[in-house]
Structure 1
Amino acid sequence: MPPDETPDLLIAEYVLGVLGREGRERVEAMIALDPRHERTMAKWQAHFAEWLSQLPASSTPIGAWRAIEQQLFGSASRPPSRASGWWNNLGLWRWTTAALAAGLLASVLILQQPVSGPQPTPGPALLARLDQSDGNTLFAAAINPDRRGVLFVSTGHADWPGKSAEAWVIASDGKPRSLGVLPANASATLSVPPQLADLLASGAVLAVTLEPLNGSPSGLPTGPVVAQGKISSL
């Protein structure tokens, strides 16, 4: 098992349902052999329970995965060989998996709402990877299809006693606008005011700064940028 592919992380991905068959079988074998892994799975199930309970029971439409694969990889019949470094970059797939899971969940929640009239055609999925200065990813972000919320998925552990992490969107005018304060070491969806919705577009930047508790008192960043990344469309 690669060093950064820890049992705890694998079990979290198992609970989210983003592992392939081989990964699922590995986790199920781990749980069968060690009761500690079963307790870890129960912990992650409780952690994700509120999020996952929002999804009503439904079956995957026929051809959905083939369509996703076609959109991601085009006409390629199989992924590049293992010699391709970026393809096997675990860090890349960690944040992509988290953001895709978040984006797909948001899309499904929108599609499951009762239809009361003509519905607008959803735009492309908008995602961002917020990296620290050392290149490590601190957050994966997925923007709701209606751009009224941004889900920030914490991908690492951070300790900032006496400080709050505040998220910002920076559009082409270079002016940061606050999206709200993020909880410590937890995922959260921040509501987006209507006047900021159009700023959440491909090419804009999401950033996180350290601010006094409960956020910047001035409405502008006052502390250092701890993570940032451009929004891109899928």
Structure 2
Amino acid sequence: MNEHPLPPDETPDLLIAEYALGVLDRQERDRVEAMIAREPRHQRAMEQWQAHFAEWLGQLPASSPPAATWRRIEQRLFAGASHPPSRASGWWNNLGLWRWTTAALAAGLLASVLTLQQPVSAPASGPALLARLDQSSGDTLFAATINPDRRSVLFVNTHHNDWPGKSAEAWVIAADGKPRSLGLLPANASATLNVTPQLADLLASGAVLAVTLEPLNGSPSGLPTGPVVAQGKISSL
């Protein structure tokens, strides 16, 4: 019997990512630790997430930000909100995604704040870049976060997405309007796609991320051949 059932809007992969990021409360941490103890695949997933976040967080300069930093982060994130985020509807009402996305936004903004506080000689991090990839119905299918060095993109799936006999392929579309492949996305799982140096400069605010359905193993032509299932503009924090 499962002593730690998951809420309907949570998946093991997302919970483990939140655990590795340190945004869960005590009860949720206990549940994830029980999952990890039961199944080796969850242990491997945790190690992968820890390594992933260590790479990202390792780019932040060492600093002890003042107490006012988090207040400024909250003001930037929730400026203009008429009531708390917990009352929002649609994809923002997905508790797990909201916690994860808020943490990603906060980390990106904190990186920008700390960079401004460092000496001029310190290496600068790029702005936090994010995208919400919506279906034609308006439902969000993926939330994408671009690594500050633009060498990888993390896609977090927000809905069940399984297309038998097809492969989901991610694309970036820059100002020239030409789609360029970022790689294939697995069904029903978050994924990090590594970006080549040639494509890194295209991952900028205003560019579009899109996902199409292609034959197994991806488009045979190097260009989209199937329907677009989700798309959204990249924006900077």
TM-score (norm 2): 0.70
Q: What is the alpha-carbon distance in structure 2 between the residues aligned to residue 89 and residue 155 of structure 1?
A: 8
Q: Does 1:210 align with 2:213?
A: yes
Instruction: Give the structure 2 partner of residue 181 of structure 1.
Output: 184
Aligned residues: 211
Cα distance, 1:26–1:80 mapped onto 2, change above 3 Å: farther
> 1:94: how far off?
4.8
Q: What is the alpha-carbon distance in structure 1 between the residues aligned to residue 201 and residue 135 of structure 2?
A: 26
Alignment counterpart, residue 40 of structure 1, candidates 35, 39, 60: 35
- C-alpha contact 2:85 2:92 (8 A) present in aligned 1: no
Instruction: Give the structure 1 partner of residue 128 of structure 2.
Output: 125
Q: What is the alpha-carbon distance in structure 1 between the residues aligned to residue 86 and residue 33 of structure 2?
A: 35
Q: What is the alpha-carbon distance in structure 1 between the residues aligned to residue 100 and residue 153 of structure 2?
A: 13
Q: What is the alpha-carbon distance in structure 1 between the residues aligned to residue 132 and residue 206 of structure 2?
A: 12
Once the two structures are superposed, residues 67-118 of structure 1 have per-residue CA deviations (whole angstroms, 9 ceiling, x without a partner) of 24403415989x754599549974476545434545749x98xx9xxxxxx6
- C-alpha contact 1:99 1:127 (8 A) present in aligned 2: no
The amino acid across from 2:191 in the alignment is A
Unpaired runs of 5+ residues, structure 1, are: 32-36, 112-117
- C-alpha contact 1:128 1:141 (8 A) present in aligned 2: yes
Instruction: Give the structure 2 partner of residue 115 of structure 1.
Output: none
The correspondence of residues 156-175 of structure 1 with structure 2, limited to 5 A, is 156-175=159-178
Instruction: Give the structure 1 partner of residue 28 of structure 2.
Output: 27
Q: What is the alpha-carbon distance in structure 2 between the residues aligned to residue 93 and residue 46 of structure 1?
A: 24
- C-alpha contact 1:99 1:153 (8 A) present in aligned 2: no
- C-alpha contact 1:15 1:45 (8 A) present in aligned 2: no
The amino acid across from 1:196 in the alignment is L
**CA RMSD across the alignment:** 3.9
Cα distance, 1:94–1:133 mapped onto 2, change above 3 Å: farther
Cα distance, 1:133–1:45 mapped onto 2, change above 3 Å: farther
Unpaired runs of 5+ residues, structure 2, are: 1-6, 115-120
Alignment counterpart, residue 50 of structure 2, candidates 49, 52, 55: 52
> 1:161: how far off?
1.1
